[in-house]
Structure 1
Amino acid sequence: MFHPALHDFPGIVKNIYSNLIRRSGDSGRLALITILETIGSVPQVQGASALFTDAGLIAGTLGGGILEADATGRAAEAIRRCASAVYAIDLNAGIASKEEAICGGTARLLIDACPDLNIEVFKAMERSIRDGRPGVLVTSIAGETSPAIERKWYDKASGKYQREINACMDEKKCLFTEKSGMPARFFEPVFPLPPLIIAGAGHIGKAVAHLASLLDFEVSVIDDRAEYANPGNIPDAEYWIVDNIGAAMMKASKSSDTYIVIVTRGHKDDAEGLRACLDADVAYIGMIGSKRKISLMREEFISKGWANESQFDRIHAPIGLDIGSKTIQEIAVSICAQLVQVRHQRQHLRKSPSVTAIILGAGESSRMGKPKLLLPFGDTTMIGTVIGNVLASSAEKVIVVLGSNYEDHRLAIKDYPVEIVNNSRYREGMFSSVKCGLKAVSGAADAVMVLLADQPMIGAGEMDKLIESYRDSEKKIIIATHGNKRGHPVLIGSKYIHEIVGYPMQGSLRDILQNHPEDICEVQTDNAAILRDIDTEADYQEELKQHHKHD
């Protein structure tokens, strides 16, 4: 039967850890083996894991063959001795060898003989993924012989692991680090599976659901026939929706990571399913049909105003890679191959936004009693440090807004690769400088990042964290926070530039933000300095003291 809640499609966890959670508490002991690092050619990738009992493999894979056979014996021994281990295996045997692997590489692996000790961490990870929040599982390994293993789950970059976590999330790759005298650490990014909605639960839909499940898609099937859309007929799906094709597709939750395959039993249902998702911002839409059928549907959709040419032409139709497929199974392979192809292309083509940084430095320094931006800080001046930090970030362009003591400040920063603008109305307050800086932003910018010139304590890491959040979020206003308080920088989508420039001068940037609470994403940072600026001599001396502590 149709279940309305299924239209929400919550995140699914289908990895070795969810298998471990389900088996936790069983009478038999388990060992979890993970590939920590590889050199050269090996049968599986870094991060591949497998779960073993003393009788052998029960879930996951290390690539099979000699590597997995060797791991099976080591797992049984680790379970018997209740002792974890780190070990390496050489796969560089000669071609004549019958017993050794000849892949040409080496692998280093971790045997966790007591994975239940970290079961609460795995459960926290599962809850996070089900809520649609990706993160990184950090495993600390102290020693190689019977090492102590500690795991932690981070659903956002924080603390001393911020750089490693950001790198893992950005590249979607594992990271293994070792430092003398410190535990080794393994960083493993975990993401919700991309949703795949299959319209049509016939033979092709069933075959696609099976393959797509093996390829790590979260599969939902829509059909108006209860005898087709059910767990008995399509056991590889996560959700089965019995409803009119068009109505169900319209109700289904969709995101930029959603993939849609339309393989219903007829032209009418195909058309209804396509109309219901054509406007959606999704990763992929594919529809089955001959070239003649697709051509006729394209003509119909355009002539009736259901789609324009560019909308229809983004559809993968006829669906699937051209591999000369004839049978149902071959067609399913061609469709799933195209899904994987698009998924990899999207991962490689993820583009960082073009961000212009605006540094506000036009104030009179009235509380300091002298031009504070020219005071020494670090290896240069206060404003020089701020500019250097911004230039070290991924911001593409830097605009510095000056006003009071304009010429002195201009001469101090003239050798930096920045654009300097003069706010002649600086006495009217900070908002006048925001407006002045925005007027200098080119139309190519996706977003602007507003910074204060008297916050040299904020590094490139905090700035890049905002930029990455802007890239990954659908929100267009990104604000740095510490605790429950908002600070600087603030990153604002270019769509708001016109509104800000036209806002009354007696207003403030805060007014603009309060007008769009639904479009705000707060990004937590461990740096409390985002809440502070340097206004007085006491502030300056305190920040110098803090700066020297961290040098």
Structure 2
Amino acid sequence: MQSLDYRVIEQAVEWLASDRTVWLCTVLSTFGSSPREPGSMMVAASDGEHLGSLSGGCVEDDFLERVTNGEYLLPTVVVRYGDPADGQENSRISLPCGGILDVLVERLSPQPESIDHLELVKAALAGKGDQTRHVRLADGTHWLEKGAPIGPRVVRDNAEDRVEIRVGPVARLILAGYSTVAEACATFAVSLGYEVVLCDPREEVTRGLAMPEGVEFVPLLPSLYIASDGACGASTAVVAVTHDPRIDDLAMMAAVKTGASYIGVMGSMRTSGARAERLRRTGGLSEAEIARIHMPIGLDIGSKTPAEIALSIMADIVRVRRGKHHVRIDTDTLQP
């Protein structure tokens, strides 16, 4: 299933190809409470037909009313919602919990250049390579450059009067084997918008298994799935939390041969040291490959329960995806 942002761009291309002008909206920044993160998109036509969302309600209604009334005729405009004092094209909408939302609105006419540009954006969202989309605010000029799979989704360059929007495939989590921690990770990941795949060939473990809605179950040895074509990309995290070396070690050996942006396995510092030695001796992994593996996995938040451990794991995955640096702390809190 394609991401919502992919479907937004796909719809924009269809409308442009049908000789319809579209307004492409992108969340630039949020302050306080906001249900949609920077980089989220919505597209609308002049009759109010639309796809996607910016806030989940009131913002969309206000924006669509303005579009159908003939506003937003400039190539680009930045709209601020939730702040009565500031912001270009200030809105009359107040957000819940005092939140503030900045939205880039681009008016795209049905020209081949606009269609070609969005086709490239659509390809990036489909997994054909991460891109950075540049939009000059003064005149709406836009172009693409090769981007990175991690880091902030939106950067506003005030000196150049432009925004940079990272576009790429939806984040993916591969869980190598079932455990209560893996199940909790899956629940968190689905709520964060991740595509989640759980691999486990052990029928005695997965018999009668009921995973959270939105999780794909593959009854296959995780290492085989991880190594298969198209399974792992730059937006993929691979996590092993079974405490079974036959599952976890093989998964790590396969994952380091892929472009996955996050690879982690659960265990204490002592068990992690023993695993690293096994991976060197038996798996033949290089020091550079072992250094790619987060072990012990997760942030040090004093985790004890499966849910707390899963929280620390997903927090670390998000940290890496957002390009935030972290000094790993020696901790034995994640015990087998």
One of 128, 133, 144 as aligned partner of 1:132: 128
SS of equivalent residue, structure 2 residue 312:
helix
C-alpha contact (below 8 Å) 1:17/1:122 kept by paired residues: no
1:149-188 residue CA offsets vs partner (Å, 9 max, x unmatched): x886x4448xxxxxxxx9xx99863457899xxxx97653
Give the match's secondary structure for 1:91: coil
2:128 & 2:116 partners in 1: Cα distance?
19
The amino acid that maps onto 1:34 is C
Matches within 5 A, 1:306-385: 306-307=284-285, 312=290, 315-345=293-323
Bigger RCO (CA 8 Å, 6+ sep): 2
The one-letter amino acid of 2:181's match is I
Tell me how large the CA RMSD over aligned residues is: 5.4
The sequence identity of aligned pairs, in percent, is 22
Residue by residue over 1:472-513, the C-alpha shift from the partner in whole angstroms, topping out at 9 and shown as x without a partner, is xxxxxxxxxxxxxxxxxxxxxxxxxxxxxxxxxxxxxxxxxx
Q: String of CA shifts for 1:220-266, please: whole Å, max 9, x gaps.
A: 4322258969xx845535x6543223333344565666432112473
Alignment correspondent of 1:267: 245
Q: TM-score, normalised by structure 2?
A: 0.61
Cα deviation, residue 287, structure 1: 0.9
1:78 and 2:66 are equivalent in the alignment: yes
What's the CA shift string for 1:170-209, capped at 9, x where partnerless?
A: 9863457899xxxx97653423345543212454334423
Structure 1 residue aligned with 2:54: 61
Distance 1:48 1:304, change over 3 A: closer
Unaligned 5+ residue runs, structure 1?
1-11, 94-98, 144-149, 158-165, 349-551
Q: What is the one-letter code of the residue matched to 2:105?
A: L
- Report the alpha carbon displacement of residue 122 of structure 1 after superposing the two structures with TM: 3.6
Distance apart, 1:338 and its partner CA = 0.8
Deviations 1:96-153 (A, max 9, x none): xxx95696978465386999x967754442124435233355668899xxxxxx886x
Aligned length: 300
> Partners in 2 of 1:204 and 1:263 — Cα distance?
7
Q: Which residue of 2 aligns with 1:501?
A: none
Note if contact 1:16-1:51 (Cα within 8 Å) is conserved in structure 2.
Answer: no
Q: Indicate the SS of the match to 2:321.
A: helix
C-alpha separation between the residues in 1 aligned to 2:291 and 2:124? 36
Tell me the amino acid that sits aligned with residue 21 of structure 1: E
- Match runs of 1:442-453 below 5 Å: none
Q: Which residue of 2 aligns with 1:173?
A: 154
Q: 2:198 and 2:137 mapped to 1: Cα distance?
A: 42
Supply the AA of the counterpart residue of 1:133: G
Give the aligned partner of residue 442 of structure 1. Answer: none
1:14 aligned residue: 3
Distance in structure 2 (CA, Å) of the matches to 1:344 and 1:138: 19
Higher radius of gyration, 1 or 2: 1
User: Distance between the aligned counterparts of 2:325 and 2:192, measured in 1?
Assistant: 15
Give the distance between the partners of 1:41 and 1:128, measured in 2 at CA: 30
Alpha-carbon distance in 1 for matches of 2:50, 2:297: 37
Report the AA paired with residue 190 of structure 1.
V
Question: CA shift at 1:47, angstroms?
Answer: 4.6
CA pair 204-32 structure 1, distance change in 2 beyond 3 A = farther
Structure 2: runs of 5+ lacking an equivalent: 86-92, 327-336
1:291-334: per-residue Cα shift (whole Å, max 9, x none)? 55445434544565745777546532232112233443332221
Contact 1:30–1:51 (CA under 8 A) maintained in structure 2: no
Equivalents in 2 of 1:129, 1:308: separation in Å? 33
Q: Distance in 1 between matches of 2:242 and 2:30?
A: 46
TM-score (norm. length: structure 1): 0.41
Change (3 A) 1:30 1:324: farther
1:286 to 264, 267, 270: 264
CA contact (8 A) 2:27 2:101 kept: no
